[in-house]
Amino acid sequence: MNDEENKLKEAFELSDLLYSKRKDEIMSGLEEKLSEITEEFIGAGGYFDTRHVEFLLKERIKRVKELVPHRLNYDLQNIEKVISPIMENIYKKIYKRALGSIEEEMKNVRVHMIDFFVNDSFFLSSCLKPMNKTVDEEKCRLLENAERDMEIFQKRFELKIGIDDFSEEQKRDYKKHEYKCKDKIYILGTSQYFRSNGIIINEVKMTIGDSILKLLLRFLVELKKGSGGWISRDTILDENIFNSDDPDHPKGIEDFRIYYELRKALKGYLLKKDSNKFIENDRKKHYRISTHPDFIKYDREKLLSHKDPQIKRLAEELP
């Protein structure tokens, strides 16, 4: 048995243990419930009533229907640890195939263009250099786009796996901190255009400006502390996270516009389309991201390379 098979076996064994524990919890009290049903029918003189059988059957099936989805969820959660390195190799192969196609197609472009000039050597000599320059530039753009598209696909895949079935700790956190949402965000840390930052919300790619990203990151820094994520508006103002030359939020402006802009930017991508619940306000000038900290992920290394110094600083505070 090779290393991958061993890891797969260990993942399934852990999944079986978790499934067995959940089964014990769900099936707990089943026999007592079935006895109660039987006693009720006996008391009514209906032990041999077909509804007696139906009630017993329904109660058993109800428990099974509650249990069975955990089989898939536990397997997905634990097998992800085994799949991740395998998927990485698959992504590399897919990316390599894309690079091969780009190289081949751009080579064909060169060949076809040279064939077009074949009967006019002077025309060819005057156009060859700028033609090659254009082909090289376009090839670089294609390669960059392929790399970015592959990264987005990977992040979408990561967001889809492992959080539909909450862990016991996550359930406790929801009860303790009363998070209102279950939305998932991945902050890519990339800026394709000036002040245009890529993020993925619930598997959908979109972009936000620098100021909005700064406010989102400040909320995230607080959320990752695991204490509920609340931070006062006065604290944010005192920290002066918005640059004085920031056209989206000039220094000294103390209004709610930046909070409104963040909510507005995210609203259409949220599961319930309720940005007031996602960016929650306790009516005492305290705000937070109201989803579980595990559901907000980010590429810290890329954020640390951002052009905006405040975004870099906030990234340094992220775990």
Q: What is the pLDDT of residues 62-86, one digit of tens each?
A: 788 777 777 767 776 777 666 665 6
Handedness of CA 120, 126, 130, 136 (dihedral sign): positive
Strand order in the sheet with 231-232: 231-232, 286-289, 279-281
CA distance 267 to 182: 14
Q: Which of 197, 184, 228, 224 is nearest to 317 (CA)?
A: 224
- 295-298's contacts with Cβ under 8 Å and 24+ in sequence apart are 295/163, 295/182, 295/183, 295/184, 295/185, 296/184, 296/185, 296/187, 296/220, 296/223, 296/224, 297/155, 297/158, 297/159, 297/184, 297/185, 297/186, 297/187, 298/186, 298/187, 298/189, 298/220
pLDDT at 254: 45
Top-ranked range on mean pLDDT: pick from 64-68, 127-131, 176-180, 207-211: 176-180
Q: Which of 18, 158, 4, 155 is nearest to 75 (CA)?
A: 18
Encode pLDDT of 14-35 as tens digits: 888 888 888 898 889 988 988 9
Q: How large is the average pLDDT for residues 127-151?
A: 79
Residue 108 is given by DSSP the state: H
Task: Give the global pTM.
Answer: 0.53
Element (H, E) at 311: helix 309-317
Q: How large is the average pLDDT for residues 269-288?
A: 89
Encode pLDDT of 216-249 as tens digits: 999 999 999 989 999 998 888 888 887 645 555 5
Mean pLDDT, all residues of the chain: 80
pLDDT at 256: 64
pLDDT at 162: 46
Q: How large is the average pLDDT for residues 29-58?
A: 84
Tokens of residue 94, six digits: 């897919």
pLDDT at 65: 77
Instruction: Considering only residues 201 and 147, tell me which one the structure prediction assigns the higher pLDDT.
Output: 201
Q: Which of 36, 64, 66 is nearest to 52 (CA)?
A: 36
Query: Given a cut of 70, is residue 57 above it in pLDDT?
Result: yes
Give the β-pairing of 286-289 and 185-193.
unpaired
- The residues near 269 (Cβ < 8 Å, ≥ 6 apart) are 201, 202, 204, 206
What's the Rg (C-alpha) of the chain?
28
Q: What is the per-residue burial (b if ≥16 Cβ within 10 Å, else e) of 54-81?
A: ebeeeeeeebeeeeeebeebbbbbbbee
CA distance 214 to 190: 14
Instruction: Considering only residues 191 and 259, tell me which one the structure prediction assigns the higher pLDDT.
Output: 259
